[in-house]
Structure 1
Amino acid sequence: MKNVVITGTSRGIGFELAKQFAEAGNNVLALSRNTEPLESFNHKNITTISVDLSQNDDIKKAVGFIKTEWKQVDILINNAGKLINKPFTELTSEDFLEVYKVNVFAVAELTKSLIPFLQKGSHVVTISSMGGIQGSLKFPGLAAYSSAKGAVITLSELLAEEYKEQQISFNVLALGAVQTEMLEEAFPGYVAPISAENMAEYIFNFALTGNKVYNGKVLQVSSTNP
């Protein structure tokens, strides 16, 4: 039984991940602003906390639970994401900041806050995007999103080096298009080749076993371009 923290669990990949880890007998701390979907799922292994990841005080609520109830974290999956689709010349500094707060700053803050609870063999998996990979086909309109997804790749590489003596692993999965609500909202009518449930199954297995052979790596998880 693992203690697993997952962000962005109200829908899509995060929701499916929480279910899969819980049904496999693991303890899940699900962090999302909207906790109702998983509360309705009502699994005894899932604890939900309403968290706005862009607010450091909210992150402290999660840390408080872990300190009191768990004492350690085996897997952290930084899955939450914010996407704004606008032509570059229409993106404001506020748009960039809004996207970076969730996709970069929150990843750094939550990971930093959980470092004291990560033990030898723990695995931090950050969900990036093919849009953050150099040389990949980019969706126009995603200057803020894709650049943020590139930033967390470098962050994870640095953390893998910084914490290698503690044997805490940091890896990134750069996903191609997945049929989620966020994708539909950003690109109405676009049909992705893989479902959220199927992608969650891949991430579930990688989070449990990928750190045995990978550390500080970014894996491209996409059957298409993008």
Structure 2
Amino acid sequence: MNIIITGASSGVGFEAVIELALSNKHKIIALARSQDKLTRLLEIAKGLNPDCILYPIAFDIVHDVYNDLQQFVKAHFDGKVDVLINNAGALINKPFTQLGQLDFVDMLQSNFLGHVRMIQAMVPSIVAGGHIVNIGSMGGFTGSSKFAGLSAYSASKAALHTLTECLAQELAEQQISVNCLALGSAQTEMLENAFPNYQSPVMAFEMGKYVADFALTGHKFFNGKILPVALTTT
């Protein structure tokens, strides 16, 4: 399969790439802003599977121009994408009364509008039977417990959840499935920065494996779904 994944330099995205790279059945474009971390990702992946086909590309989904990425997909994937995993994101933990408008703008750009741009750029290349997986959060899942300080983050993830449901209908004629995994906590760098004293019962590599497996097979069972992936309602 031809797979594109964003937010690949750390955490769940990093681990998902490693899982996918263990198979010789896939070609993977791994996107993130940090070239150094992507270089490390490639080293680890090649160490585990020297034959894996992995293209690490430094790319900012919010600010960069997509034309070069589209041309790369055309050249290296023959213009065909089977799976798009929108995993990139950011988190601000700050009381609501201390949040400025730019904080909300940052969250919407990183967790929503960047994915909008990526999907719009890649949809023409996604094949019939393809799968778009958006990585949401329990923080944006209706009815879940909410945490003080995460209003901007959770609101941006809720927007991504609703976009998922809309796109599943809009892309149905093209036979493209769209699902969203509302992830609970996993022990990642982002979690540690937000909650320094909290230890998640789920390791990043465990969640990464789940995301990778779902991206490959989940569309056989689901479409337009926001699926909570958490041990609790938090």
TM-score tier by shorter-chain length is over 0.9
Structure 2 CA distance for aligned equivalents of residues 218 and 87 of structure 1: 27
Structure 2 CA distance for aligned equivalents of residues 179 and 24 of structure 1: 25
Please report the TM-score for the alignment, with normalisation by the length of structure 2: 0.93
Partner of 2:32: 32
Verify the 8 A CA contact 2:139 2:154 in the aligned structure 1: yes
* 1:95 and 2:121 correspond: no
* 1:110 and 2:109 correspond: no
SS at match of 1:127: strand
Verify the 8 A CA contact 2:11 2:188 in the aligned structure 1: yes
Verify the 8 A CA contact 1:11 1:37 in the aligned structure 2: no
Partner deviation per Cα, 1:150-187 (whole Å, 9 max, x = no partner)? 00111011111001011100000001111100000111
Partner of 1:142: 150
Partner deviation per Cα, 1:81-110 (whole Å, 9 max, x = no partner)? 110110001111111111111100011100
Q: Which amino acid aligns with 1:31?
A: L
Structure 2 CA distance for aligned equivalents of residues 63 and 158 of structure 1: 24
Partner of 2:76: 69
Deviation at 1:64, TM superposition (A): 2.0
SS at match of 1:41: helix
* 1:167 and 2:170 correspond: no
Cα-Cα RMSD: 1.1
> Which segments of 5 or more consecutive residues in structure 2 lack a partner in the other structure?
47-51
- 1:1-226 to 2 correspondences below 5 Å: 2-25=1-24, 26-34=26-34, 35-41=38-44, 43=46, 44-57=52-65, 59-70=66-77, 71-226=79-234
Structure 2 CA distance for aligned equivalents of residues 47 and 54 of structure 1: 20
Sequence identity, in percent? 44
Deviation at 1:215, TM superposition (A): 0.6
Deviation at 1:39, TM superposition (A): 3.4
> Which segments of 5 or more consecutive residues in structure 1 lack a partner in the other structure?
none
SS at match of 1:128: strand
SS at match of 1:171: strand
Deviation at 1:52, TM superposition (A): 1.3
